Every structure is written in structure tokens, then in C-alpha cells.
Amino acid sequence: MSITSIFFNLIMSLLLCSSAVTWATIDTYQFNNEAQELRYQALIAELRCPKCQNQNLAGSDAPIAKDLKDRTYQLLQDGKTDSEIRDYMVERYGDFISYKPPVRGSTYALWFGPFALLLVVVAVLIWRRKKVTPPATHLNAEEAARLAQLLKRDSHD
């Protein structure tokens, strides 16, 4: 390996490492007090990222999550209550944004669907159990002889 090749690889490695550092941004917000910061952390933990779907805003690096965290921070700075902030987000993104959607007609499937499915499964299991007939325990002489013959033949194999 030549000096030029080593130097080139070193430069490329340094450039690659420095570009990775620029991607790792950290959200910094200035809060008036610790209670406000705790409210912010609780809100972004309970609001879902619209893009990631299975992640809250606190754990998401998606651009929309960053925008929603900024908006949550701004609403807190404007003196909005937690419920006003939640209502604001739900109004714009629907019940999906909340990990705790309200119970109403459009969310009945979310709230009661798992229980209804469980009831259906239990009902099917009970129904199938009743339909299953137990095996015959008494064999007539012909069936007993046939069974003995089969068992004897299998034991020799």
C-alpha cells in the first residue's frame, strides 16, 4: 500500500466521521422552569409520530417529529395547557397521534376490538369442545383382535 493510498483513506475516513457528527443533532430547548420541561417531556412521550407510527415523538428522528416537538415547545411557551396542546395535535393529525385516544364512535374498534376478538375466540373454543366426541372406550371382540394384530405387527417393525 502506498503512502498516497493511506493518506487518501485517512482523509476519506475523517470526512465520513465528520459528516456523521453533523447528522446527530440534539434538540435543545430553554424552559422557564423544571415543571415546564417535565410537561414537555410527558407530552412528547405520549404523542405518536405520524410517520413512524410505532414511536412517540420523543424517540423519533423523523423531520415531522422534529416539527411537532418544536410546535409543542412553542405552545408550552405560549402558556397553553396540556389538554389544549393535545387538542391542537388531535385536531390536525386525528386520534392516531395520541397513544390514549378518546372513547367515541370512531374509536370503538380500538378500545373494544381486542375484547370482542377474545370473546369470539373463547366462544369458538367452547363450541368446538362441545362438538368433539370422545373416542370409544369399549371395543368389541373383533375390534380388539384387529387392534392387537396391528400393535403386534408394529412392534416387530
Q: What percent of the chain has pLDDT over 70?
A: 79
- Last residue of one domain, picked from the residues 102, 121, 139: 102
Q: For the CA atoms of the chain, what is the radius of gyration?
A: 32
pLDDT score of 135 more than 80: no
Q: What is the mean pLDDT of residues 50-74?
A: 89
72 Cβ contact partners less than 8 Å away, ≥ 6 residues apart: 40, 43, 44, 47, 57, 85, 89
SS3 98: strand
In terms of domains, do 39 and 81 share one? yes
Q: Is residue 5 situated within a structural domain? A: no
Q: Tell me: the pLDDT tens digits for 29-46?
A: 888 889 999 999 999 999
Task: Give me the DSSP letters along 20-85.
Answer: HHHH--------SSHHHHHHHHHHHHHBBPTTTSSSBTTT--SHHHHHHHHHHHHHHHTT--HHHH
Q: Is residue 4 situated within a structural domain? A: no
pLDDT for the residue numbered 95: 82
CA distance 12 to 32: 44
Asked if 102 contacts 89 with a C-beta cutoff of 8 angstroms, the reply is no
Q: Is residue 98 situated within a structural domain? A: yes
In terms of domains, do 40 and 98 share one? yes
Range of the domain at 70: 32-102
Q: Is residue 7 situated within a structural domain? A: no
pLDDT for the residue numbered 22: 46
pLDDT score of 155 more than 90: no
Q: What is the mean pLDDT of residues 74-82?
A: 93
Q: Is residue 87 situated within a structural domain? A: yes
